[in-house]
Chain A
Amino acid sequence: MNARFRFRIGSALAAMLLAGVAIEATTLTAEAQQEGRRRRRSDAQEAAPLELTPAQVAKLTEVANSRSLNMDDLLSAAKTFTPSGRHDEYVLFSSGGQSGQVFAFGVPSMRLLRSIAVFTPESWQGYGFGGDNDRVHEELMINGKPVLWGDTHHPGLSETGGEYDGQFLFISDKANARVGVIDLRDWETKQIVKNPLTISDHGGSFVTPNTEYIIEGGQYATVLGYGYAPIEDYQKSYRGMVTFWKFDRAKGRIDVSKSFAMELPPYWQDLSDAGKGASDGFIFMNSFNVEMATGGIEDGNPPFEAGASKRDMDYMHIIDWRKAEAAFGAGKVKMINGFPVIMLETSIADGFLHFTPEPKSPHGVDVTPNGQFMVVAGKLDPHVTVYSVAKVKKAIADKKYSGSDVYGVPILDFDSVMEAQVEVGLGPLHTQFDDKGYAYTSLFLDSAVARWTLGGEYEAKNPEQPWKLVTKTPVQYNIGHLAAAEGDSASPDGKYLISMAKWSVDRFLPTGPLLPQNFQLLDIGSTGTDMPVIYDMPVGVGEPHYCQMIKADKLKTWTVYPEIGWNAHEQRMDPKAPKSGSEGVTRDGTNVLVNMTAIRSHFKPEHVEVNEGDTITWRITSTETAIDATHGFCIGGYNINLSLEPSEFVEFTFVADRAGTYPFYCTEFCSALHLEMAGYLHVKPKGLTAAPALDSVQAGK
């Protein structure tokens, strides 16, 4: 082997190595390149640091004066105004109240991003307008009756380790005791479960720190399982309850077969919160009407409002849910209406249900971010009462009871578990938290948000004394819930706070006798008494109850479905989805199958000819892959409208029981030739022998 040959071999190897490295590097580069080109465009929008010249200050002053704005107004505007094209930092998921929907707003701009239909059919989203056997209608059936609305109350974002993970959103329907499951990849409702025990309830939907369970607490006691008993038998036959819906994260569904409930005394259970950190494993739940008043104002009895408010104390329910889960696992349940219920005697005997007194007709119970304290706001008591979970655990271990209620549930001694009481003002309802050791409580009667200091670990985080009121900011008017940025999670951000006012009275232009609610944005970024309202937003679409604010970058939202032919309900590619090139109309007896595709700016096929009385299964695939290239599909007169989002597949069925010529068209203005994106459903009348053949129509063209 001569030197020349060795050199050749060596250099060939070197070349291969070099080529390998280069290929590796350049393949990566090539992939990054296109992404880089896209980024280059969005980076160009960054604003340069601002320095106002005297001329600009004069201009600003002129505008401010012409609109009667003071410096605070200008600052508020600057804190909230979000320039065209800029995105918000947070997304606020709000209950839509009686609209049965969920609304999403951007914070701090307070712009409405979109609604999400849950309990109420909504035509823009094509939710519940997919023909005769629409899945939504079937899910909204209660006892064989379609109940097409909901009173949405409490949204609950899914959590991992007590932190919002941005994957799912749960929402409760108070009127009909239902929970909806929304997948935050496509912001669409995937499941609705109806509580089998009670017609209505209030305390949903709160999640355990890893979303093991979605908690749905009761409210107005009834006979469990939709039963009947005369009101005279209230104490004997009426019961409260709490339901633990098991969540299957991989499937994105509540697993009803692994869910269970606990029977509770007929106190009116209210809101709840799951313990986290130091209190992990507990559920804390308020109640009122431990008086067990039965009303009857028409018979001269005290009305509920008086009867249920007599006593100074009600009972906070303390539930060890892991022990409850074990009891359910061990089969210590009674089936009521086909649903497993842990009866009171089991909860008492196994020691996972305790009460402790709480003043007075409370509403909210909220666990501090570290899980060490529970804050109860008694709406008829000017204090918030703070309980220590360490003391609760000790009292349970030491059996430090002050007695038991008439059903035998042990009552933990109030003084042994209470940590502090802070006088905050009139009508305290709900509490949220920040990162500076402050708690924020809504004051319904004072129409204010109170900022007060927490103790324990939180004492060092702010200059004030622990357990003291710091300041109150008036809000307009009659505030219910409030929500701080990630303010009920394990690590609140301490940035923004939404005050959800029930009344707006004079805040906006009059809108007839039905007025919008008022969402007000408070800047809670500072300490001390600085806590201004910086935005008023009217919500004229229902009365929202609670909302949660999540950092926008936690959401991994799809803008286009991952594959063409996507079944959004199942979140997978559907083999039934018509493909481009396989469109057509086929008939099997009186069953007609339509395979259709939609892309700008045509449906294919454009003519569908059926006979009166045919059952039509209609499948449409949007073969679009561009962001926002959504099509609609409606058949007028047949109550059908679909939303065909990019790459989505939708199937619907209906009986063509009315003859005639029905134009169908795209209901989302999709393109310059959107109006041309149309076709005809020809329903030939029964008994028409010499039908005007479609061929002749086409021949006439």
Chain B
Amino acid sequence: MAKFFQHLIGPRVSPEEFRAHRIRYTAPTLMFMLARVLLLVSLFLPYWHMELEAPQYPNGLFLTAHVNNLSGDVREIDGLNHYIGMRPLGEAAAFERSVAIWAIIAMFLLVEGAAFIHSKWAVLLAIPAITFPVAFLADLYYWMRSFGLNLDPEAPLSASVKPFVPTVIGEGGIGQFKTYAEMGTGYWFAVACGVITVIGFFFHWRAYRGLYRRMITREHAVASMEAIG
């Protein structure tokens, strides 16, 4: 059991070794740290924007999604959406938004944990943070599609507006509205977090690869000796 655990967390670095190759061991740690900070900060930044433009809204209507809430002209957009029978935006991704903060904190801690694990298993802990941007986008698309395709057939304008999939990124349109959607700063922070984590792993594994293999070799040697002995 202890051996399994040791395999999992990998070898520790002796102070002498650390002093000898300071950069080798601190570079990945700093990268993971940067990734974590980016992810944490992204909590406070918008992940996605949509701007709606129509003649009677000279200042436009805006929708901003943070990981845990939707803000902007939600009320007005809901009011307009009722004409085409779209459900209120507040019903979209309600579960995802309610757990988002904890999920991000969990990812933060997992990446933190990954930095402590000097084996190749560390990558498992970082997978959520690395794949998070893709998951976010997929979820966004899922909800847009679900909302756009499930319009209330009893709505005032259901005869003239057929179900549609709103544009998730880029220019779209519905009725007299033009829509412009783009990913926000928070999302790019999350992407940067993922990319930096991957790069961090490269250096992380490069730093500990030798130590890890030496540890395994040593264990094999000990095992052989015991077998022989």
Q: How long is the Cα–Cα vector from A42 to B57 in the complex, in angstroms?
A: 12
Write the A1-39 contact mask toward B (1 if CB under 8 angstroms, else 0): 011100110010001001100110011011001100110
Write the A236-272 contact mask toward B (1 if CB under 8 angstroms, else 0): 0000000000000000000000000000000000000
- Identity of the chain A residue whose Cβ is nearest the Cβ of B56 in the assembled complex: A628
Q: Is the CB of A26 within 8 A of B45?
A: yes
Confirm or deny: B113 has a beta carbon within 8 angstroms of a beta carbon on chain A.
no
Q: How long is the Cα–Cα vector from A11 to B29 in the complex, in angstroms?
A: 9
Residues of A within 8 Å of B13, CB to CB, are 4
Q: What's the least CB distance linking B107 to chain A, in Å?
A: 15
Q: What's the least CB distance linking B226 to chain A, in Å?
A: 32
Q: Is the CB of B18 within 8 A of A4?
A: yes
Write the B36-70 contact mask toward A (1 if CB under 8 angstroms, else 0): 11001100111001010000001110101010000
Q: What's the least CB distance linking B59 to chain A, in Å?
A: 5
- Identity of the chain A residue whose Cβ is nearest the Cβ of B26 in the assembled complex: A7
**Total contacting residues, chain A, CB less than 8 A:** 31
Given contacts A34-B62, A34-B64, A38-B60, whether A626 and B76 have CB atoms under 8 Å apart is: yes
Confirm or deny: A58 has a beta carbon within 8 angstroms of a beta carbon on chain B.
no
Q: What's the least CB distance linking A601 to chain B, in Å?
A: 7
Interface residues on B, range: 20 to 34
Q: How long is the Cα–Cα vector from A625 to B72 in the complex, in angstroms?
A: 12
Q: Is the CB of B19 within 8 A of A3?
A: yes
Q: What's the least CB distance linking A578 to chain B, in Å?
A: 17
Confirm or deny: B110 has a beta carbon within 8 angstroms of a beta carbon on chain A.
no
Q: What's the least CB distance linking A83 to chain B, in Å?
A: 14
Residues of B within 8 Å of A18, CB to CB, are 37
Confirm or deny: A41 has a beta carbon within 8 angstroms of a beta carbon on chain B.
yes
Given contacts A11-B33, A626-B79, A673-B156, whether A23 and B58 have CB atoms under 8 Å apart is: no
Residue of B19, B37, B44, B156 near A27 (CB, 8 A) is B44
Q: Is the CB of B46 within 8 A of A30?
A: yes
Looking at A19, A27, A38, A41, which has the most chain B CB atoms within 10 Å of its CB? A19
Confirm or deny: A599 has a beta carbon within 8 angstroms of a beta carbon on chain B.
yes
Q: Is the CB of B51 within 8 A of A624?
A: no
Confirm or deny: A600 has a beta carbon within 8 angstroms of a beta carbon on chain B.
yes
Q: How long is the Cα–Cα vector from A2 to B73 in the complex, in angstroms?
A: 54
Write the A394-413 contact mask toward B (1 if CB under 8 angstroms, else 0): 00000000000000000000
Residue of A8, A11, A23, A42 near B44 (CB, 8 A) is A23
Q: Is the CB of B45 within 8 A of A30?
A: yes
How many cross-chain pairs have Cβ atoms below 8 Å apart between A and B? 68
Q: Is the CB of B41 within 8 A of A19?
A: yes
Q: How long is the Cα–Cα vector from A18 to B71 in the complex, in angstroms?
A: 27
Confirm or deny: B75 has a beta carbon within 8 angstroms of a beta carbon on chain A.
yes
Residues of A within 8 Å of B66, CB to CB, are 30
Q: Is the CB of A601 within 8 A of B156?
A: yes
Residues of A within 8 Å of B41, CB to CB, are 19, 22-23, 26
Confirm or deny: B15 has a beta carbon within 8 angstroms of a beta carbon on chain A.
yes
Q: How long is the Cα–Cα vector from A38 to B73 in the complex, in angstroms?
A: 12
Q: What's the least CB distance linking B70 to chain A, in Å?
A: 12
- Identity of the chain B residue whose Cβ is nearest the Cβ of A599 in the assembled complex: B79
Q: Is the CB of A41 within 8 A of B58?
A: yes
Residues of A within 8 Å of B15, CB to CB, are 2-4
Residues of B within 8 Å of A26, CB to CB, are 41, 44-45, 185
Looking at A29, A30, A599, A673, which has the most chain B CB atoms within 10 Å of its CB? A30
Write the A632-661 contact mask toward B (1 if CB under 8 angstroms, else 0): 000000000000000000000000000000
Confirm or deny: B94 has a beta carbon within 8 angstroms of a beta carbon on chain A.
no
Q: How long is the Cα–Cα vector from A614 to B109 in the complex, in angstroms?
A: 67
Looking at B18, B29, B59, B64, which has the most chain A CB atoms within 10 Å of its CB? B59
Residues of B within 8 Å of A33, CB to CB, are 46, 64
Q: How long is the Cα–Cα vector from A690 to B121 in the complex, in angstroms?
A: 82
Q: How long is the Cα–Cα vector from A8 to B79 in the complex, in angstroms?
A: 52
Q: Is the CB of B33 within 8 A of A38?
A: no
Query: What is the interface of chain B, defined by CB distance below 8 A to chain A?
Result: 13, 15, 18-19, 25-26, 29-30, 33, 36-37, 40-41, 44-46, 49, 51, 58-60, 62, 64, 66, 71-73, 75-76, 79, 83, 156, 185
Sorted nearest first, the 4 A-B pairs with minimum C-beta distance are A22-B41, A626-B76, A27-B44, A19-B37
Residue pairs across A and B with Cβ atoms less than 8 A apart, 11 shown, are A2-B15, A3-B19, A4-B18, A19-B37, A22-B41, A27-B44, A30-B46, A37-B62, A41-B59, A626-B73, A626-B79
